[in-house]
Chain A
Amino acid sequence: MLTILFDGIAYGMLLFVLASGLAVTMGLMNLINLAHGAFAMAGGYVAVALVNKAGWPFAAGLLAAFVVPALLGALMERTLYRHVYAKPHLDQVLFTIGLAFMAVAAVDFAMGTQQVFVQLPRALEGQIDLGGVGIGRYRLLIIILCGLITVALQYALARTLFGARLRAAVDDARTARGLGINVSAVFALTFAVGSGLAGLGGALGAEILGLDPHFPLKFMIYFLIVVAVGGTSSITGPFIAALLLGIGDVAGKYYAPQFGAFAIYTIMIVVLIVRPQGLFTRVAGK
């Protein structure tokens, strides 16, 4: 029972790190990015290539899984995404689905269709026993890492100058520009960090979620649920939504495997009917 709760929390934290970039781009920058999972997949495959094939240490692989998708994100933002910020949502949907399709086919071509795993260091395998509760070491690592990232994100958004600039740029881009804020640089950096976090999540989650070329499409709905149910006005909303989703999904698969992901979709639809703006939104969004 507690083990399930623990696994669920680890899963939820992972989902949050994966989706946090999406929460920012979708909530703050008002961009529907269905290709977000492609960055997560990129991170996962970078880690696989470096750790399994090139023999890098696990931690270095994780770092690379953040850096490479972040650079990729920055590049894509500068060259492609910036053109669709002002377009209607339908165009954003088409554009990002197109990107996701391309990523799926490209990874399929380069890495093959089979599922891959990142080799874990020996120290992270197995379970430790805490007062009768079996706790996977790797899951514990995920919870600690993701917890740190969450705190750092919240701090960066709420307390730092950059966070203030980002919020200003989102509230009113024109006024922010007038105040000397380089809005497009702020957006690019935000996008890059979001993509990097997705990549890190993809690498961390390869063990739990599984990694194959269809990752972006398979988990797109989960990311969207986190953002849509959590509401897009804060970072805590998606965080709570991700935890609930993680615990619900793990518990659902354990207690009622015949329903599978069915319960998750039902809950999402019910939540969206009752609260179209998300569960944790204080005021109606823009």
Chain B
Amino acid sequence: MSALQGVLATAVADHLAARARWRAAELVFWGAALASVFLLPGKHLILAEIAILALFALSLDLILGYAGIVSLGHAAFFGFGAYAAGLLAKHALITEPVLGLLAAGLLAALLGFACAFLVLRGSDLTRLMVTLGVAMMLRELANRLDKLTGGADGLQGITMAPVLGRFSFDITGHTAYVYALAVLFVLFVVARRIVHSPFGLSLMSIRGNPLRAGALGVPVNARLVAIYTVAAGYAGVAGALLTQTTAFCSLDVLSFDRSADLLLVLIIGGTGYLYGGLIGAVVFKLLQDALATLTPQYWQFWIGLILVIIVLVGRERMSGWWHAAVAQGARRLGLRERP
């Protein structure tokens, strides 16, 4: 009996290890990201934005792609982190960016932990309402507490110390991009570790069928609370990065549009394999940039049109075309494990 268990345990461990192995295409992806630091010095401002959006999308992927929680208010944690980092820096409590990032992430995670219990209850509709409501509430709060947050004018007068005491932020966005990319990479590796762990597997079983997962002995609620907390922390770090790299923070970080755009980012890249948010962020920002130069005021129209088309064509069928190109290729190269 115990021998059998031993064999089983080794087999499971081997399987998990095989799933978690770094694949060639992943190295290519990160290699390209690293190369962009040196090859595209003129594009660092937008690249920094992409890295931040990618981290934010990665955070949503953790709860939507892996745990199946639909959220319309993920900007709540992004904005909370953004304001936390901004306020800490403005009042000279923590001016060192990395420490500020940690603090903002922790605070956002605490908020996420508290909100997780609300999100556990009810159907998709209730979840949508609660996530949306929390984000709107925070936005209203930030708007009303204008003595603290600057209200509609935004939080001004943030001065960040150099990163790690050595690299100060510059106008070309060079430090900002390297900093954001480094944070994205570290947190990505952590997320990768999380989803490939038995914990991550249990999340996917919950997404597949919560009742059955519960019957198999998975503590469904505890797992959901845990991943929601982690994702909130990630979103908080992303928000803090935005504040730190732009030295500014406005009500916009908590807006509904930000949550909605984020869904689009993740849907473009595909959910449930971590790279979706990253690829989606690149595509979305380039798209936004192109559309904004084309029709500065009305690019939202095209974003809406893309959403409608994606749904009408069918995300499933899209994976027949777009993912056939991306994921199939990625699968062949080993970026994404075979189903």
Residues of A with Cβ closer than 8 Å to B?
Answer: 26, 32, 80, 83-84, 87, 89-95, 97-106, 108-109, 217, 220-221, 224-225, 228, 232, 258-262, 265-266, 268-269, 272-273, 276-277, 285
Contacts and interface: CB of A to CB of B under 8 A. Distances in A.
B168 to A, nearest CB: 38
Contact of B144 (A26, A220, A259): A259
19 contacts: A90-B64, A91-B315, A94-B311, A95-B311, A97-B263, A97-B304, A105-B299, A105-B304, A106-B301, A221-B136, A224-B132, A225-B133, A228-B125, A262-B137, A262-B140, A262-B141, A269-B118, A272-B118, A272-B129
A93 B305 contact: no
The 7 closest A-B pairs by CB, nearest first: A98-B307, A101-B304, A276-B122, A105-B301, A102-B304, A95-B311, A265-B137
B122 A277 contact: yes
Given A97-B304, A265-B140, A269-B130, A26 B311 contact: no
Contact of B305 (A102, A262, A276, A277): A102
Contacts of B297: 105, 108-109
A211 to B, nearest CB: 18
A268 B256 contact: no
B43 to A, nearest CB: 27
B70 interface: yes
B72 interface: yes
Nearest to A83: B312
B118 A94 contact: no
Chain A contact residues: over half helix, strand or loop, or mixed?
helix
Give the interface residue-count category, chain B: 35 or more
Interface in B94-150: 118, 121-126, 128-130, 132-134, 136-137, 140-141, 143-144
Nearest to A97: B260
A269 B137 contact: yes
A89 B118 contact: no
Contacts of A232: 125
B298 interface: yes
B315 A80 contact: no
Interface of B: 64, 70, 72, 118, 121-126, 128-130, 132-134, 136-137, 140-141, 143-144, 256-257, 260, 263-264, 267, 297-301, 303-308, 310-312, 315
B113 to A, nearest CB: 15
Contacts of B256: 217, 220
B30 to A, nearest CB: 29
Contact of B125 (A89, A99, A273): A89
A221 B137 contact: no
A204 to B, nearest CB: 25
B307 A95 contact: yes
A83 B312 CA distance: 7
Contacts, number: 131
Contacts of A32: 124-125, 128
A87 B141 CA distance: 35
Nearest to A229: B129
Nearest to A109: B298
A98 B126 contact: no
B134 A269 contact: yes
Contact of B121 (A100, A105, A228, A273): A273
Contacts of A87: 311
Contact of A268 (B129, B140, B301): B129
Chain A CB count within 10 A is highest, among B134, B308, B311, for B311
A260 B143 contact: yes
Contacts of B132: 221, 224
Nearest to A257: B144
B307 A260 contact: no
B128 A93 contact: yes
Nearest to A273: B118
Contacts of A100: 304
A272 B305 CA distance: 32
A26 B134 CA distance: 21
Chain B CB count within 10 A is highest, among A84, A105, A232, for A105
Contacts of B141: 262
Contacts of B305: 98, 102
A225 B130 CA distance: 10
Contact of A262 (B144, B306, B308): B144
Contacts of A105: 297-301, 304
A89 B124 CA distance: 7
Contacts of B125: 26, 32, 89, 228, 232
A265 B133 contact: yes
A94 B263 contact: yes
A89 B68 CA distance: 11
Contacts of B308: 80, 95, 98-99, 102
Given A101-B300, A105-B300, 11 more contacts: A32-B124, A32-B125, A84-B312, A104-B300, A109-B298, A265-B136, A266-B137, A272-B121, A276-B126, A277-B122, A285-B123
Nearest to A101: B304
